[in-house]
Chain A
Amino acid sequence: MSRFALLSFEFKESMMIALRAIRANKVRSALTMLGIFIGITVVVLMTTAIKGIDNSFQKGISALGSDDLYIDKWTWFTNNEWWKMRNRRNITMEDYEKFKDMAKLPIAIAPELDARQSLKYQVNTVDNVFVLGTTADYVRTTNFTFDQGRFFSDVESKSARNVCIIGSDIAKKLFPLGNALDKEIKIGNEPFKVIGVLTEQGSFILGAFNPDERAYIPIGCVFRNFMNRAHGSITIDVRAANTAMIEDTKAEAEGLMRKIRGLSYNEENDFGINQQEGLIDNFNKVTGVIKIAGLFITGLSLFVGAIGIMNIMFVSVKERTKEIGLRKAIGAKRRSILAQFLMESSFICLVGGIAGLIAAILLSFLVNQFIVTSVDYSAVVIAIVVSLITGLVSGLAPAYTAAKMDPVEALRFE
């Protein structure tokens, strides 16, 4: 036999021997599998949940528009001294009007100003909703789609009519039975007519900024009803023509804003031009922590599983000392014994891992109720590779112990 043929023969035979041993000790094998089963279930679920969170964030980002700039009094996600930013002048509607007249590169410009209000329809109430006041152009800075109705028009916006667009979650809470269109709701104490309902964005990770949980009204209504014009600092949403144009659009916006705000060359910007990049960085920091914690927990559960397997394999080796002695006496080499026990532990782990994978897929339907997600191919590959490696690693020490047994001693073992 060639060396390769010999090795493949030995591989096959060790596998058969391992399978026999597993079948012969069904209960013990099943209990051993349990450890890896739990570990793999946790690993796959964790990966799946993290993926779901990522997806949700990406969706939210793309719903808001990834080519957008936000001109704000505050510079987001910096370590600048906040009190300096706090003392900056507000960005006013006048600033916005001037900017809108002068800016050439953006394809859409809209002001926004949030007011935190309660929304009511008959007996249903949703508290602490970020009601966003803006103009008709706002919808062109986003990628919103509508379930029902439309965004408000230029006329409605300019004349500050009491009309609103609500996010899908708000719609569900206020109108559990369905049709929201043309209904009159109360925002604060003011009546507003619902003229549009947004399609669900599913970006729960954005929290209060999740479009599903917001309402949109003309900005004039905010000033009239909820906030003194003098106090609110607006944010100007600017959409670049495309991703390649972001930097140019940003440069133009910076120059224009400095001019509008009358800054001389030696003065610092008293506004921030923010991008979602900042948001993404921040998100990555947060999910990074979640991922590391998740990895640690799953790693720990796998480790515990591996220790369990090692323990049981040691017991199994001890129990089968006489068998090992016999096998050696009739000609098993060290590597045959080593292979036999390694195969056994990796096979147990593989089966446990696959069972864990199936359990995780079933459980992911449950997780799906909270985080939109699904198990993907990478999780399958991870589960199989991780369980095989766990099997090999945890089987190594017991298998080695078995392989180096002295046949005379082993045969004498009772």
Chain B
Amino acid sequence: MNIINIEHISKVYQVGTEEVHALRDISVKIDKNEYVAIMGPSGSGKSTLMNMLGCLDTPSSGKYDFNGVSVSQMSDNDLAKIRNKEIGFVFQTFNLLARSDALHNVELPLIYAGVPASERKERAELALVDVGLKERMHHKPNELSGGQRQRVAVARAIVTRPSIILADEPTGNLDSKTGEEIMILFNEIYEKGNTIILVTHEEYIAEHAGRILRIKDGLIESDASVSNRYIPKARVAAEHA
């Protein structure tokens, strides 16, 4: 079954007196355990599409079913619930709480899920071990390197065991070596059976995905499977094994 089923979605913004068509009649289906990259230049509508997929925004028209549930007409609170349970976000700027340690940052979505404190701590610790930060749990973001910060963010995204992981330019603020390490981490997560949607404008990052969706001017320009996707060598994983 499709996790994501978007049919004829469009999004119109009112900017002053002008109407801006960020998305025009887009239809996409994404299956479980797919690794999809969304590409497009800035202003193409890829951010809008990502917000839509992440249930952060609702379409002006069209239909969006998430796991068979229609979310296009949902209330703010119900969308918050879906985001909490079904979607793990990874942002370009990490978006960690600066004054909280890694553990608390990872616990955060579980708080909103209503998970009791002891279970929360356990699960957050496991997620941090999964991303290779066993020794850094009680460090605050400013005591961590960029790559480590993004790992904390990834741990926060996977800790709720969501249906999809939505990563917006996850390597955008990292040097290429650290970026590579994060891509290895995503590959591991993907290989464990997760669904990943990656938004990027870097061709070589997009090549990690099994399917590339190109957006331009609010329309899907192309949607193609990658036959020989780039599988990064799991050096880091091996070190931690």
Contacts from A to B (Cβ < 8 Å): 1, 6, 9-10, 13, 17, 20, 24, 322-323, 325-336, 407-408, 411
Given known A20-B100, A328-B80, A408-B56, contact A336–B95 (CB-CB < 8 A): no
* A333 pairs with B51, CB closer than 8 A: no
Cβ contacts under 8 Å, A411 to chain B: 56, 91, 95
| A393–B105 alpha-carbon span in the complex (Å) | 30
In the bound assembly, the distance between CA atoms of A17 and B100 in angstroms comes to 10
Interface residue? B136 (CB, 8 A)? no
Stretch at the interface among B25-33, B108-116, B189-197, B200-208: B108-116
Are B111 and A13 in contact, with the CB atoms below 8 A? yes
**In the bound complex, CA of A411 to CA of B113 (Å):** 20
Residues of A within 8 A of B112 (CB): 327, 330-333, 336
Instruction: Evaluate contact between B156 and A333: CB separation under 8 angstroms.
Output: no
B138 at the interface (CB under 8 A from A): no
Q: Is the CB of B81 within 8 A of A331?
A: yes
Inter-chain CA distance A24–B104, complex, in Å, is 14
For the complex, what is the distance from the CA of A24 to the CA of B101, rounded to whole Å?
12
Question: Which residues of A have CB within 8 Å of B89?
Answer: 329-330
User: Shortest CB–CB separation between residue A334 and chain B, in angstroms?
Assistant: 6
The CA-CA distance from A121 to B167 in the complex, in Å, is 95
**Which residue of chain B has its CB nearest to the CB of A325?**
B95
Offer 10 A-B interface pairs, CB within 8 angstroms, sorted by A.
A1-B114, A9-B116, A20-B104, A326-B91, A326-B97, A329-B89, A331-B80, A331-B109, A336-B112, A411-B95
Indicate whether B76 reaches chain A with its CB closer than 8 angstroms: yes
Residues in B122-157 with C-beta less than 8 Å from chain A: 156
Closest CB pairs A-B (n = 8): A331-B84, A24-B99, A331-B112, A330-B109, A326-B95, A333-B80, A333-B77, A407-B56
Assembly CA distance A20 to B76 (angstroms): 26
Which chain B residues (20-74) contact chain A, with CB distance < 8 Å?
51, 54, 56-57
Is A322 within 8 A of B114, CB to CB? no
Known contacts A334-B76, A411-B91: A6-B114 contact under CB 8 Å: yes
Secondary structure class of chain B's binding surface, majority of residues: helix
Known A-B contacts A323-B97, A408-B56; the reply to A330 vs B114 at CB < 8 A is no
Q: Which residues of A contact B161 (CB under 8 A)?
A: none
Closest chain-B Cβ to A170's Cβ sits at a distance in Å of 65
User: How far does the Cβ of A354 sit from chain B's closest Cβ, in whole Å?
Assistant: 25
The residues of B that contact A325 with a CB separation of less than 8 Å are 95
In the complex the two chains form, is B99's CB within 8 Å of A408's CB? no
- A316–B113 Cα gap in the complex (Å)? 25
Contact of B95 among A20, A322, A332 (CB under 8 A): A322
Taking the closest CB of chain A, its distance from the CB of B195, in whole angstroms, is 17
Residues of A within 8 A of B99 (CB): 20, 24
Q: Could you say which residues of chain B place their CB within 8 Å of the CB of A6?
A: 114
Check if B83 is an interface residue, CB within 8 A of chain A: yes
Measured in the bound complex, the distance between the Cα atoms of B56 and A407 in whole Å is 6
| Best-buried of B57, B77, B112 by chain A (most CB within 10 Å) | B112
Give the complex CA separation of A17 and B104 in angstroms.
10
Q: How far is the CA of A323 from the CA of B80 in the complex (A)?
A: 15
The answer for the CA separation of A406 and B91 in the assembled complex, in Å, is 17
Docked-complex contact A329 and B54, CB < 8 angstroms: yes
Contact of A9 among B91, B108, B114 (CB under 8 A): B114
CB distance from B161 to the nearest CB of A (A): 13
> Could you tell me the distance in whole angstroms from the C-beta of B173 to the nearest C-beta in chain A?
13
Verify B114–A332 contact, CB threshold 8 A.
no
Chain B residues with CB under 8 A of A330: 83-84, 89, 108-109, 112, 156
B85 beta carbon closer than 8 Å to chain A: yes
Nearest opposing residue in chain A for B157, CB measure: A330
Q: Known contacts A24-B99, A408-B56, A411-B95: does B77 contact A331 (CB below 8 Å)?
A: no
Question: Could you tell me the distance between the alpha carbons of A94 and B114 in the complex, rounded to whole angstroms?
Answer: 90
A335, B114: Cα distance in complex, Å: 14
B83 contacts A329, C-beta separation under 8 Å? yes
Q: What A residues does B54 contact at CB under 8 A?
A: 329
- Cβ contacts under 8 Å, A10 to chain B: 114
A333 — which chain B residues lie within 8 A by C-beta? 76-77, 80-81, 112
Instruction: Return chain B residues, CB-CB under 8 Å to A334.
Output: 76-77, 80
CA distance in complex: A79, B24 (Å): 86
State the CA gap A91–B77 with chains docked (Å). Answer: 84
CA distance A336 to B111 in the complex (A): 10
- The interface residues of chain B lying within 8 Å CB-to-CB of A24 are 99-100
- Which residue of chain B has its CB nearest to the CB of A9? B114
In the bound complex, CA of A335 to CA of B75 (Å): 13
**Which residues of chain A come closer than 8 Å to B91, judged between CB atoms?**
326, 411
